[in-house]
Amino acid sequence: MSNDNHDHHDDHTANGARRKLLKLAAGAATAAALRGATGLTSAAALTLQSGAARADEGRVLRIGFQKYGNFVVLKAQHTLEKRLAPLGFTVQWLEFPGGPQLLEGLAAGAVDVGTVGETPPIFAQAGGVDFVYVASEPPAPQGEAIVVHEDSPIRTPADLRGRRVAFNKGSNVHYLLVKALQRANLKYEDIQPVYLAPADARAAFTSGSVDAWVIWDPYLAAIERQAKVRSIANGENLVRNTQYYIASRNFANAHASVLHAVVEEIGAVDAWARDNVPAVAAQLSPLVGLDASTLELALRRASYGVQPVDAATLAYQQQIADTFSELKLIPKKLVVADARWQSA
């Protein structure tokens, strides 16, 4: 019997080693896919790879965040870590340049929860990413805009015909651009889209290789304060610019209590931030590399008050999905409500 047990132990050890090798191989494939799909640096991709590998080794909540917003404040305050400790969870924070890249991370199994604008979830759902809408912020239409140089002959969106316009494909500003063109009786084909992540788009804009840039805060506030630019349209009367908190469907179904705790902690940060804009700006400044005055400008255009994703919000998301399917920018019609979280 001892020999049988020893042989079984050897088999078990071999199987365990095989599983570990497969996990590492999958992690490497994930990193390669993310580099190709999102332009992430090798270091960032390896961070995701290690995050994906560690997820199986313990109860880790992996949060995808962007350069700005409630998650940055929450990360700095460490209150979520304290809240989740009794539930046996630690927190890992992963930074992304935009919502599309964050959802690539979720698709690759490296992110459990994240925050994105209104358009990235549409492209993600069309691409088969299995996520759910967990909560949302109220609309903040002034937090994104189409900007041109002060001396540009472009005065309104109608003047964008034939122009090179930079923006992050599949991001919230993608929908702003589409709606601004429609209002000006232009078709999407009437412009020359240049798909660039924020840092590259800013470089292209400042060098003059593109004519306009469609961008969101705090990048918008930064270019407004640091260069001579004009806004020819923002989201006012065009789009809502809603921020969403999303989660992997598997994680949401398995750990509803963790998600409820996350939403409550976001709500607490929201309430504090709304009444303490200068303090939030001062706290964010060293973390995001922007001066406090620039961040104050952005924060005063932000919205506060995390809330459930209701039927009206999903109907608005459906409008976005229908718009992009009509433009053939996503391959099929979507039923956005399929991604609604039926929380416990």
pLDDT in tens, 103-141: 999 999 999 999 999 999 999 999 999 999 999 999 999
- Cα 60 to chain centroid distance, Å, stands at 20
Owning domain of residue 79: 58-139+242-339
Mean pLDDT of the chain: 86
Domain identity same for 197 and 310 = no
pLDDT greater than 90 at residue 222: yes
Average pLDDT over residues 37-50: 44
Q: Name the helix (H) or strand (E) containing 27.
A: helix 2-38
pLDDT at 58 (0 to 100): 62
| Pair (149, 173) in one structural domain | yes
pLDDT at 24 over 70: no
Does the pTM exceed 0.85? no
Find the CATH number of the domain harbouring 324: 3.40.190.10
Whether 154 and 230 map to the same domain: the answer is yes
pLDDT digits (tens, 9 = 90+) for 63-106: 999 988 899 999 999 999 999 999 999 999 999 999 999 999 99
- Residue 198 pLDDT more than 60? yes
Rg (CA), the chain: 22
Same domain, 29 and 113: no
Residue 322 CB-density burial (10 A; 0-12 exposed, 13-18 middle, 19+ buried): middle
Query: What is the model's pLDDT at position 67?
Result: 84
Residue 34 pLDDT > 60: no
Residues 30 and 63 in one domain: no
The CA–CA distances, whole Å, from 245 to 70, 206, 259 equal 11, 32, 10
The pLDDT assigned to 48 comes to 52
Residue of higher predicted confidence among 118 and 40: 118
Residues in the chain: 344
Summarised one tens digit per residue, pLDDT across range 303-334 is 999 999 999 999 999 999 999 999 999 999 99
Model pLDDT, residue 54: 45
Count: domains in the chain: 3
Domain check: are 145 and 132 in the same one? no
Of 32-36, 94-98, 170-174, 198-202, least confident by mean pLDDT is 32-36
